[in-house]
Amino acid sequence: MNIPAQIAKAQLFRQMHDRTRVLLLPNAWDAASARLFARAGFSAVATTSAGVAWSLGYADGEQAPVDEVLAATARIARAVDLPVTADIESGYGATPDAVAETVCAVIAVGAVGINIEDGLHEPGQLRAIDDAVARIRAARTAADQAGVPIVINVRTDTYMRQFGDSPAMRLDETVRRGKAYFAAGADCLYPIGLTDPASLDALVQALDAPINVAARPGLPDMTELARLGVARVSTATRLVTLALSAVDTALRQLQASGRFDGLESTLGHADMQHMFDG
């Protein structure tokens, strides 16, 4: 691990969250997808926990062994000369100390940022705010001790899990958690599932800090998100499911017709070779 180079990448990635422009962040699931994103001109790459798990043959939700996830993250970081931020779900550990170990391991394989979430694997459950704060603080301390100023993006599941009985309660809880998470060392808040412009505007105004949203059909466009003050948009699982959907469609057409017309693609073997030879 080249610590000076990793520190420089971490500092560069941190600057991308200064809200002077919206950071559009694609989520890779393997080295090939990461290389494709670099070729397309993106300035940084994230991992998708679901996509990485699926590529390893496991379900999402920390079902993939952490050693395999770390190895996949290492391949992604090696494949691109860009900042890479790793989705570590809820931290791959039951305690803050275990989260700190995961963060140290992720830094060791080349990542300069993490996603960590406050949802529990039980349906509809959120982690107690004090517990979530302790885990964020442990992550920040681990990064400080490693000497790499990683960007900590905290995913709050208040919207995805429909916290509370009303949109107003949901927003209030998101603001409450956001303030606590930033105080604990977070750099960015990711209210996954929040797409409503008015609520986004209220959240940005209340926190005055970087906010990450998930790309999806119907989300306001980049110009509107910039106007709202959003710092970052990540594609989450959208690209991996799009890629696998294209393969699934081609296979169904092949089986149904016996013809090979559906196997045309915009990228060929030579294009892929060039991406890895260059």
3-state secondary structure the chain: CCHHHHHHHHHHHHHCCCCCCCEEECEECCHHHHHHHHHCCCCCEEECHHHHHHHCCCCCCCCCCHHHHHHHHHHHHHHCCCCEEEECCCCCCCCHHHHHHHHHHHHHCCCCEEEEECECCCCCCECCHHHHHHHHHHHHHHHHHHCCCCEEEEEECCCCCCCCCCHHHHHHHHHHHHHHHHHHCCCEEEECCCCCHHHHHHHHHHHCCCEEEECCCCCCCHHHHHHHCCCEEECCCHHHHHHHHHHHHHHHHHHHHCCCHHHCCCCCHHHHHHHHHC
Q: State residue 1's pLDDT score.
A: 67
Q: State residue 270's pLDDT score.
A: 86
Q: What digits encode the pLDDT tens for the residues 87-122?
A: 999 999 999 999 999 999 999 999 999 999 999 887
Q: Which domains does the chain have, with CATH numbers?
A: 3-277 (3.20.20.60)
Report pTM: 0.96
For the chain, list residues with pLDDT below 50.
Answer: none
